[in-house]
Structure 1
Amino acid sequence: MKKTYQNISLFFLFIILSSFLFYQYFHAKSAQEGEQTSKKMQVRIIHPKPTVLSEPFLFSARIYPIESALIFARANGFVQERLVDIGDQVKSGTLLARLSSPELEEQIKQAEAQVRLQEARVKLADLEFQRAQKLVTTGAVARSIFDEKQAEYQVALATLDLNKAQLMRLRKVFDYTNIRAPFDGIISERNIEKGDRINATDATPMFKLIRTNQLRVVVDVPQSQLFSIEKNAVANLSFAELPGRTFKIKFFRLAKEVDEDSGTMRVEFILDNKNNKLQAGLSGEVSIQIMENKNILLIPANALSVRDGKSSVVLVDKNSEIQFRAVVTGRIKSTNNVEILSGLSADDNVVINPNALLFPGQKVEMIAATNK
């Protein structure tokens, strides 16, 4: 019986000690969690940096001749003679090639013979008309015969005019067998050889002629940059193959319509190329000095994030609480800085490298960082 009481006493003692130990453990754990909860997360913040923006715009450029023409035949025939080749400089009216057209030549001969024949008929009709005119005044012939001769003469004249017009048309077509340059330029393409059969309906041109004493420099400017470019802005053209060399270009014209697919507008500049040192078809880079913009705000690129498909930043308000704010970015987007057009002021506390666990209203401790 005594042993039973001892066992019961030991059991109750074990229960009391266990309860005490559990109490001490949970009390210490709660105190640790409370200490951790009361400790604020630290974030590094910067202020948006007001900047005077005067950096030039850079665009990829394509170079075209100031004038170009695809030269097709306007008559059928065979290439009798080719007088120029690619790279040749020609003047306006220079003979480039001559076609042989035996069928056309035969038609011209027939038309010339028809004109000579009709001229003889006109002379005969004129003589008969003059004779009838004299005889009708004396009453030797009837008035009806005079009218008939007069009509025959007029018909002969009209037929002669028609034959001459036909001959002129054929001669004009024959002149098309002489292929001439429409303006001063350089032959950049030649697609014929002596003996080739040429038709006026051919889809392939005989020659391509370009004028390159001036060159068109074409760039496609995004809508976001259009309003920062002035017509008298300084623009320079450069090529990767010519390091250290730039060419001054002048504003020429713009399309005045933004392309729906690309969101850009075509702008053209003129490059003086009197010595033909540069060739059409080159690709280069155009630098355009823009209007000076003041009060541009820049923030580090690592302060920008995307939330719900929009550019946004994480801010710390005056109560040291986290806020999310959407912003509109500008043209400068590099690995270092991003231009902010709206959504921020120079006094805002912007978090850089924001922790993904941050949430609106969260209390944080700010540490100033340097905005370079």
Structure 2
Amino acid sequence: MTERTTIRRAKIVAIVVLVLLALGAGRTVLMRHTNAKALEAGTADYAKLYVKTARATVGAGGETVLLPGSLQGATQAPISSRASGYLKRWTKDIGSLVEKGDLLAEIESPEIDQQLSQAMAAREQAVASLGLAKSTVDRWEALRAKDVVAQQELDEKRSGYAQAQANLNAASANVERLRQLEGFKRVVAPFAGLVTRRNVDVGDLIDGGSGKPLFILTQADSLRVYVNVPQSYANLVKPGQKVGIMQPEMRGQSFEGIVARTAGSIDATTRTMQVEIALPNKGGVLMPGAYVQVSLPLQASRDIVISTNALIVRGDGVRVASVGAGGKVRLLPVKLGRNYGQSVEVTDGLAGSEELVLNPPDALADGDVVTVAKDAEKTDKGDKTGKGEKKA
């Protein structure tokens, strides 16, 4: 009895051990299968090429360009003298505000005074000669009526009278000319403005034909700003546009001007176009000649604009990687226009609706399949840059 019980117990123990071994083996096989599936899934996941994309857009808001400029008075003129002589006195100095017609200086010119006196005396002689010629003609006409003198002699007297009349006209014109020169001895302001330079002093010899300016007069309540716009922006600048003007020394202050006119042509040397901007300066805050910065908003461009980090520059030219259906990549050749720093204009090669790969890997080729990384995936995966996964 005891032997049977022992044998039975041994069989039970053996069966239990076999069952446990079978369970262990099954568990091992199951774990290996599960791990293989997980490894396969992980390997497939790591084999995907994750990229970040951005859509190409059509420029519609225009751009703003900051350009250097210089201020000038709306009207600026060198004030010279037509009369020669010596400077008798000046009445306005630099910084003086003057009105139109205000006296700036007087010139002492004895030669003109003497010439005027001589011309007036010559005119008096012409008046006397004309009176004598008129009396002579009257007498000879009376004699001719009595047939005392020949017609030829009367015609000669009439010709003398006409010559005397012409001499009087010439003498009067000479007097008027010298009187005008006398008026030029007074140098007056041709317009209201600011005296920005005085080049003469009392006693200086003034040569009326030299063209040397006595004063520089500038209209300071209205200014002009000249800027040279690069050729790439020239077609986008139009008269009537509003612009912002800033002077570096006046922090926080901005002034508004209007594009008055453009040169309409490109300078062959600098490849720029000159633009004139009208700027009111009622308070006289801005000074002519100052350096300013002009914020020039350009009219909207209809070209395609993409991020600069979407460009692929290789030996065969510039391309971008467009992601299509199923994540398939197409490398598209493009032509670039203006560079705005973080973005660039594409003039040819895109329609404006493409999804473009940002920071494309160097090995990216036409026909590759990529996966667009979502925010959640990027957060979970972190910065994986191994061979199996490339993140752009």
Same fold (TM over 0.5): yes
Taking the TM superposition and a 5 Å limit, the aligned residue runs for 1:219-234 are 219-229=227-237, 231-234=239-242
User: Superposition pairs for residues 122-133 of structure 1, below 5 Å?
Assistant: 122-133=130-141
Alignment deviations for residues 271-293 of structure 1 (CA, whole Å, 9 cap, x no partner) = 21122221111222222344456
Cα displacement (A) at 1:67: 1.0
Partner Cα separation in structure 1 for residue 390 and residue 346 of structure 2: 22
RMSD: 3.6
Moved more, 215-224 or 131-140: 131-140
Using a 3 Å threshold, how does the CA distance of structure 1 residues 260 and 82 change in structure 2: closer, same or farther? same
Q: Which residue of 2 is the match for residue 86 of structure 1?
A: 94
State the shift of 1:366 in Å. 5.9
**Residues 13-24 of structure 1: matches in 2 within 5 Å?**
none
From 259, 270, 280, give the equivalent of 2:267: 259
Q: Which has the larger Rg?
A: 2
1:328 equivalenced with 2:335 (yes/no): yes
1:306-358: CA deviation from partner (whole Å, max 9, x where unpaired) = 757x6x25759889999976543343443x55444444576566463865xx5
Number of residue pairs the alignment of both structures matches: 325
**Identity percentage of aligned residues:** 28
Q: In structure 2, how many angstroms separate the alpha carbons of the residues matched to 1:49 and 1:265?
A: 34
Gaps of 5+ in 1: 1-39
SS at structure 2 position matched to 1:212: coil
Shift of the alpha carbon at 1:90?
1.5
- Contact 1:237–1:248, Cα closer than 8 Å, also in 2: yes
Measure, in 1, the Cα distance between the counterparts of 2:364 and 2:306.
Answer: 24
The secondary structure found in structure 2 opposite 1:248 is: strand
Alpha-carbon distance in 1 for matches of 2:147, 2:60: 106
* Structure (1/2) with the larger strand percentage: 1
The match for 1:47 among 37, 53, 69 is 53
Alignment of 1:3-82 (within 5 A): 45-50=51-56, 54=61, 55-82=63-90
Deviation at 1:189, TM superposition (A): 1.6
CA contact (8 A) 1:66 1:212 kept: yes
Pick closer, same or farther for the CA change 1:131–1:229 going to 2, 3 Å.
closer
Give the aligned partner of residue 10 of structure 2. Answer: none
- 2:222 maps to amino acid: Q
Is 2:250 the partner of 1:242? yes
Tell me, what secondary structure is at the counterpart of 1:240? coil
Does structure 2 retain, via aligned residues, the 8 Å contact 1:45–1:366? Answer: no
Asked whether the 8 Å contact 1:89–1:185 carries over to 2, the reply is: yes
- Pick closer, same or farther for the CA change 1:341–1:142 going to 2, 3 Å: closer
User: Residue 235 of structure 1 contacts residue 288 of structure 1 at CA under 8 Å; is this kept in 2?
Assistant: yes
Which residue does 2:307 correspond to in 1? 299
1:79–1:362: structure 2 CA closer, same or farther, 3 Å change rule? same
Q: What secondary structure does 1:47 align onto?
A: strand
SS in 1 for 2:155: helix
Amino acid at match of 1:329: L
Partner of 2:156: 148
Rounded Cα–Cα distance in structure 2 between residues aligned with 1:202 and 1:125: 44
2:218 pairs with 1:195: no
Distance in 1 separating the partners of 2:231 and 2:90:
49
* Whole-Å separation in 2 of the counterparts to 1:144 and 1:349: 107
Asked if structure 1 preserves the Cα contact closer than 8 Å seen for 2:240 and 2:260, the reply is no
Alpha-carbon contact 1:92-1:183 (below 8 Å) kept:
yes
